[in-house]
Structure 1
Amino acid sequence: MAPGGTGEGHSVVVEVNGVVRGARVPGRRLLSDFLRHDLRLTGTHVGCEHGVCGCCTVLLDGEPVRSCLTLAVTVTGRAITTVEGLADGEEMSPVQRAFAECHALQCGFCTPGFLCTATALLRDNPRPTEEEVLEGVSGNLCRCTGYQNILRAVRRAAELMAGEG
């Protein structure tokens, strides 16, 4: 039985970052808690616990979702990518490299959610306009950076993915 649960629980089996993982969890276990506590993938951060801040954003079958609003039992059999799965082995993804290069983080708490959001944005729209970048990340909150370096990093990631420098 998973920590904090009672009774038998529910079996949740998912592909996380390319690896099939699973645990027995209470029916009310949030995906964010399943990832952090049951699977020990602590890169997914939990901020507001109301789906407002975007810190807990992960990719579910490639689409950004708020893991603090998603029940773990609803994702069984699906594929999840967390911030830990964005890199290719030891090689950072273009989005991760751009965030580091453009100093698009300060405390880093919101960064995993921004990285997952930007990854999906650039997959769907490899050459976004300024307005599309702003709209694409508008669901994620940052209390430190003022957003300019985050927006710059998303544009830089698009350049890196296009092979431009």
Structure 2
Amino acid sequence: MSSANSSIPKWVLDLQHPPPPSKSKNGSIPDPPGYPSQSTALSKKQASKEAKTQPRKQPTPEEMDTLKLKKAWEVALAPVKNLPMTAIMMYMSGNSLQIFSIMMVYMAFKNPILGILSTNQAFERFESETNKGKIIQAKLAYVAMQLVALAVGIWKVNAMGLLP
């Protein structure tokens, strides 16, 4: 048996027979910065349990309308966020008639037209009886942004020499 144990590497023996668990830490050595000690970890757990027991306050209808209006404006301004990348891609594709530039022009026309046609669908989840007037403003801004994106496509077609 001793010959069998001597031929087995030490790390295998350590895996088969792990050392006993370490004793509790010495109280004279403080925890490093950013490391929570046992007492603070327990107090944080108790505080989180107390926080979980309190029910969340339901938002008022005015707060919900404000939140819906903010989200509607994010949707309305989304087409402009894609505009710089589209313009750079169109500029880099060149003015000659190639498959890449034709596909870029196709996408520059397709996306804004589909966006304009689906305006009501894009904003129907934000619309309520109390904020219809404000949502109409966001819808008009959305259509205007889609027209700006369409103008970039027209600029590209003109640069390619396809407009009379």
User: So what's the TM-score if we normalise by structure 1?
Assistant: 0.30
Tell me which structure has the larger Cα radius of gyration. 2
Kindly indicate which of the two structures has a greater share of residues assigned to helix: 2
- What TM-score, normalized to structure 2? 0.30
RCO (CA 8 Å, sep 6+): is it higher in 1 or 2?
2
